[in-house]
Amino acid sequence: MFTKAQKLASVRIVLVEPAGDRNIGAISRVMKNFGLQHLVLVNPQCDPQSEEARRAAVHAGEVLAAQQVVPTLKDALQGCVRAIATTARDREKSPLEHPHTALPWLLETPLEQPSALIFGPECRGLSNQELNYAQRFVRIPSNPDYSSLNLAQAVAVCCYELTQSVDFSTGDRPLPLDYAAIDELEGYYQHLQAVLLTIGYVYPHTAASRMEKFRQIFNRAHLDKAELSMLRGILTQMQWALQKKAESLEDKL
């Protein structure tokens, strides 16, 4: 039987370019309140170990001290198989879901396969490029006349929903699928773009928008490693066939 701590320990709280050290401390505190342990900061714009951050963390100093600082969102998601981003920005063909509905999905993976909940900078939220790393998106319902939440408040709401969303009294283990990690998917997207450029399906000036649509398709599929390997094999075979055809044409000349 899984314990509550085991299920939550595999979830990373990822903050992209946080600007307030007090917010980071408050987030460490709320994470401890709800049993989460893994805080990742992407290119922080403040001192995440400042005295103000430590004061705001109160009795969650161990969460604050164990934070991981990385330069990019891609680095923060290394090894993760599922990621949900928080946003107020509508996404084509990717509906914004209620946290209560979407967040349990992060806990439906084997314990050794981590997942991530991503929050954007206080000043701007997540960019379209940053949102591309997520497979699902949540928006916290709030008063439309004043919908903006403080970062620490948003994390608190999501941590609460994440903690309350699972019946921890049951020992049902999720299906042990070997999901493709997000960084492995990124490698596939780069491979796919290279092939599509070669065959002329996309052009340099249209590649970004077209690839965003492909990301949406494959992110909805939640590929496992075997499926991803099959798709990479198809691309590799296409590249081999194109090279052979080019060599044949050269020989005829």
Are 81 and 55 in contact by the 8 Å Cβ rule? The answer is no
In this prediction, residue 2 carries a pLDDT of 57
Task: Locate 79 and state its tokens.
Answer: 């090894």
Candidate CATH numbers 3.20.20.10, 1.10.3720.10, 3.30.70.141, 1.10.8.590; the one for domain 182-252: 1.10.8.590
Q: What is the CATH number of domain 4-164?
A: 3.40.1280.10
* Amino acid of residue 131: L
Q: What angle do CA 180, 135, 25 make, to 5 degrees?
A: 100
In this prediction, residue 231 carries a pLDDT of 95
pLDDT digit string, tens, across residues 83-125: 999 998 776 667 889 999 999 999 888 778 899 999 999 888 8
Say whether pLDDT at 6 is over 80.
no
| Domain extents in the chain | 4-164, 182-252
Residues 6+ apart with CB under 8 A from 6: 111
In this prediction, residue 171 carries a pLDDT of 45
Say whether 107 sits in a helix, a strand or coil: helix
For the segment 170-190, the average pLDDT, to the nearest whole number, is 75
Its sign, for the CA torsion 152, 158, 162, 163, is positive
* E runs forming strands in 120-173: 136-138
In this prediction, residue 113 carries a pLDDT of 85
Are 43 and 75 in contact by the 8 Å Cβ rule? The answer is no
Residues 6+ apart with CB under 8 A from 3: 168
In this prediction, residue 148 carries a pLDDT of 79
pTM, 2 dp: 0.79
Task: Locate 191 and state its tokens.
Answer: 């491979």
For the segment 159-168, the average pLDDT, to the nearest whole number, is 77
Looking at per-residue pLDDT, the higher value among 123 and 169 belongs to 123
pLDDT digit string, tens, across residues 196-248: 999 999 999 989 889 988 998 998 888 888 999 999 999 999 999 998 888 88
